Structure 1
Amino acid sequence: MSSSQLRSWVAQRPGVVVMLFFVVPALFLFLLMSAAGAGQVPQAPAEPFPNKVDVIKVERQNAYSRSVKVVGRVEASKQASLGFERSGTLLTALVDEGDKVNEGQLLAELDTQRLIAQLQEIEAGIARAKADARLAKLSENRVASLVKQKLESSQRLDETREATLAAQALVREMEARKASVLVEFAKSKIISPFTGTILTRPVDPGSVVGQGMTVFTLQQDSGTEVRMAMAADKAFQLVKGRSYQVFSGPESFNARLKSIANARTISTRTVDAIFEIEDGSNDKAAILPGDLLTLLLPTETQLVGYWVPKSALTNGIRGMWNLFTVSDASGAQTIKTRAVTVLFSDESKAYVSGALNAQDYVILRGGQRLVPEQMVYATQVPFPDSAKPLAVAGL
């Protein structure tokens, strides 16, 4: 069919054209919408199903207890800076850093050539003094014999006796000088005062060391202590001789309170408590001087409030928190909102005060999906163990 014939056919049948371009598409669209369910309105439920919630009973408290962390540094019970009591040249060092030493062990010596020469000189002087003393005694005996024979005066006898005493005194003086030199020999050696480990050795053999200069730093291996600074009221509540638990991460150790300083530290205004790690503790060797250990000290604050799990808290307004409560622990209940203030909290529980009373049952969890005046079914459950306040051990 040519284009002129098509135009003639359309002009003769305008109703057919309207049907093809408008009625047929509209009918097709209606059939599609009917198949898709358009126009079907579901029936609204007659009544919403109430939520089921777990509730707990809260108890009024007059005070709350919490643990205060006190951090202390591990120290060796004995640590000494060892040096010589006289100056000189370090002849030999028999141990080095990290070496284990025993009590009484020789650690180092000074050059003693001068002392040897002095000792030889003094020994010669002692020999001469003893000879003079013997000669004086012989002279005294001869003069005493002559005095008996009336051949010598008593004055001469007195002089010889005094000369003998002077010679004997000189012998004692020289022997004292010898003893002094022997002491210097002893001071030319460093002897370990206790069993331990050499931490440092800052001086090498051949160096000239002064009096009191540190040659070794010695640390005792046994008797590890922990020094903890704390407030005076906390320190003096501790019992001397009692064992306490201290922590290094997850590990715990038993520490006996050894002493409490009877003075404040000037810079921190705290009092030092000294604990001694007991031998029966877990892997005591894992504690090294310089480590930090933690002691948990219970403290009590006198404020009226309630312990609640943190899961029961929801955000309130103006810095407040909300608790959802019901009046009974079973059956259908209406939710009430209680505004509270958090006085203290930890990982699992909070101590709160506010518009709460001991007759309320607190909804344990799920507050984000609840609203005031909502109808719920309540079921009472025990207070969660993880949220129970810890019993305070007596100090």
Structure 2
Amino acid sequence: MTEKTHASLAIPARDPGEGPALPPRNVEWKRAKIALWIVLFLFSLGAVRTVVVDIMHSRSIDATTRQNTRQYVNIVTPTQTDRGGETLLPGTLRGFVESPIFARATGYLLHWYVDIGARVKQGQLLADLDTPEIDQELAQAVAQRDQTNSSLGLAKSSLARWQQLRGRDAVSQQELDERQSTYNQDVANLAAADANVRRLKQLESFKRIVAPFAGVVTQRNVDVGDLIDAGSGASRALFALAQSDPLRVYVQLPQAYAQNVTSGQQVVVTQAELPGEQFRGTITHISGAIDVPTRSLQVEVTLPNPDGKLRPGAYVQVALPSAARARLLVPGNTLLFRAEGPRVAVVDANGLVHLHKIVIAQDLGQSLEIESGIDATDKVIVNPSDSIADGDQVVVAAAAPNRKRAS
């Protein structure tokens, strides 16, 4: 039994003519299974690699986006004003006395003796006029006065004779009264003729154009041969004259500072074309009312000008005394204009932006005096973007140097 079993289990001998032997089926299945697992592993490895690459790329894009959206800003810190309670305002220089010179007689310009820039004294001859019509009128008036004076002499002698005749009762009182009336009328006519002669002589004197006060000639608008019309209606001025020492400075003081000035206070006047030079004047007149359209108070300053450096009509700046109160100064390019009013952007310690509402005390051109809204330790952004808003994250690039207002 055992031998049969062994015999049945024995592998029959391979016939040499049957070809190569094939592997068993279970071996092929194992190989296919291994290959399948290898393919699945490779696919999984590729999928994991793709997912990892996508995640790293997404993180790189996010980092680049955050880098690009980061705002770099420059900052300044406010400074204290250095003028010690002064208000700097624009002013206009005017001559202490200014006047256009018109003709009072009609005629032709015969000659002029002074030109622009000439300094003249009071009563100095400026020009001569040729007035033939006035000359003829004066000659006629003199003749009429002589004629009236002759009639008056006849009326006077006639009245004397009729008074004698009345004393002898040779004429009536009515006739004497008529002679008295004729005499009185001739006296009045002579007075009128004398007045007319004096008027024409006065008009004749206007042929000489003289300076009404000492000053400098600022305009000459006529030349020899020009027809000159009397009066200042439609006619033009022959000359313009201004007294340049002292000068008047007119300043429009805002209503907010109207209570800080009084007559007699000293002020400092500067002109941009004369750097480093200061001129001291005195407040002499203050308007008694606020100008409604501008809400400002007109202040007049008397300014000595013995050397003539300052000229009437020039633009100047006047440092008026004001209430001594410390104010902060920031550059003008820190200002933001919003619908709610002026703002400045301030950066806190965490790099967040806060828009502060400010009250501007005075606009100095390149800088601003701030009444309230910021502190001396605030970091104010220079040239902020128009789109900047509360809560924006910024990076401070570098601290810009503070700008000081020019004195």
Interval containing the TM-score (normalised by the shorter chain) = 0.5 to 0.7
RMSD: 3.9
SS at match of 1:241: coil
Say yes or no: does 1:175 pair with 2:199: no
**What corresponds to 1:376 in structure 2?**
none
Deviations 1:50-109 (A, max 9, x none): xxxxxxxxxxxxxx9765421212221111111112332222222112211101112122
Say yes or no: does 1:241 pair with 2:264: yes
* Change in 2 beyond 3 A, CA 1:87/1:260: same
**What corresponds to 2:138 in structure 1?**
119
How far apart in 2 are the matches of 1:95 and 1:65?
Answer: 47
* Change in 2 beyond 3 A, CA 1:235/1:86: farther
* Change in 2 beyond 3 A, CA 1:125/1:321: same
Deviation at 1:341, TM superposition (A): 7.8
**What corresponds to 1:27 in structure 2?**
none
Runs (5+) with no aligned partner, structure 2: 1-82, 332-344, 362-366, 369-373, 379-395, 403-407
1:250 to 256, 267, 276: 276
How far apart in 2 are the matches of 1:116 and 1:341?
Answer: 79
* Change in 2 beyond 3 A, CA 1:103/1:229: same
SS at match of 2:157: helix
SS at match of 2:101: strand
Deviation at 1:340, TM superposition (A): 12
How far apart in 2 are the matches of 1:120 and 1:223?
Answer: 45
Moved more, 285-294 or 220-229: 285-294
Note the 1:180-329 alignment, pairs <5 A: 180-211=199-230, 212=232, 213-248=236-271, 249-265=275-291, 267-278=293-304, 285-297=308-320, 298-299=322-323, 319-321=346-348
Instruction: Give the conservation status (yes or no) of the 8 Å contact 2:260–2:323.
Output: no
Instruction: Give the conservation status (yes or no) of the 8 Å contact 2:346–2:355.
Output: no
**What corresponds to 1:32 in structure 2?**
none
How far apart in 2 are the matches of 1:321 and 1:103?
Answer: 69
Deviations 1:177-209 (A, max 9, x none): 101111211333322111111111111121112
SS at match of 1:251: coil
* Change in 2 beyond 3 A, CA 1:172/1:340: closer
How far apart in 2 are the matches of 1:322 and 1:68?
Answer: 35
Instruction: Give the conservation status (yes or no) of the 8 Å contact 1:197–1:221.
Output: yes
1:352 to 343, 361, 376: 376
Instruction: Give the conservation status (yes or no) of the 8 Å contact 1:74–1:226.
Output: yes
Instruction: Give the conservation status (yes or no) of the 8 Å contact 2:245–2:308.
Output: no
Name the aligned partner's letter for residue 320 of structure 1. V
SS at match of 2:295: coil
Deviation at 1:172, TM superposition (A): 1.0
How far apart in 1 are the matches of 2:263 and 2:151?
Answer: 66
* Change in 2 beyond 3 A, CA 1:159/1:285: closer
1:100 to 103, 107, 119: 119
How far apart in 1 are the matches of 2:314 and 2:219?
Answer: 19
Instruction: Give the conservation status (yes or no) of the 8 Å contact 2:245–2:304.
Output: no
* Change in 2 beyond 3 A, CA 1:222/1:151: same
Deviation at 1:265, TM superposition (A): 4.2
Runs (5+) with no aligned partner, structure 1: 1-63, 311-317, 324-338, 355-366, 370-385, 387-395
Instruction: Give the conservation status (yes or no) of the 8 Å contact 1:340–1:353.
Output: no
**What corresponds to 1:133 in structure 2?**
152
Aligned residues: 268
Name the aligned partner's letter for residue 135 of structure 2. I
How far apart in 1 are the matches of 2:171 and 2:356?
Answer: 116
Larger Rg: 2
TM-score by length of 1: 0.58
TM-score by length of 2: 0.57
**What corresponds to 2:110 in structure 1?**
91
SS at match of 1:255: strand
Deviations 1:266-293 (A, max 9, x none): 55332221111246xxx85322223332
* Change in 2 beyond 3 A, CA 1:67/1:166: closer
* Change in 2 beyond 3 A, CA 1:241/1:145: same
How far apart in 1 are the matches of 2:348 and 2:85?
Answer: 21
* Change in 2 beyond 3 A, CA 1:289/1:154: closer
How far apart in 2 are the matches of 1:89 and 1:244?
Answer: 48
How far apart in 2 are the matches of 1:107 and 1:184?
Answer: 17
Instruction: Give the conservation status (yes or no) of the 8 Å contact 1:73–1:291.
Output: yes
How far apart in 1 are the matches of 2:186 and 2:318?
Answer: 71
How far apart in 2 are the matches of 1:278 and 1:322?
Answer: 54
Higher strand share: 1
Say yes or no: does 1:144 pair with 2:163: yes
Name the aligned partner's letter for residue 300 of structure 2. I
Name the aligned partner's letter for residue 252 of structure 1. Q
Say yes or no: does 1:160 pair with 2:179: yes
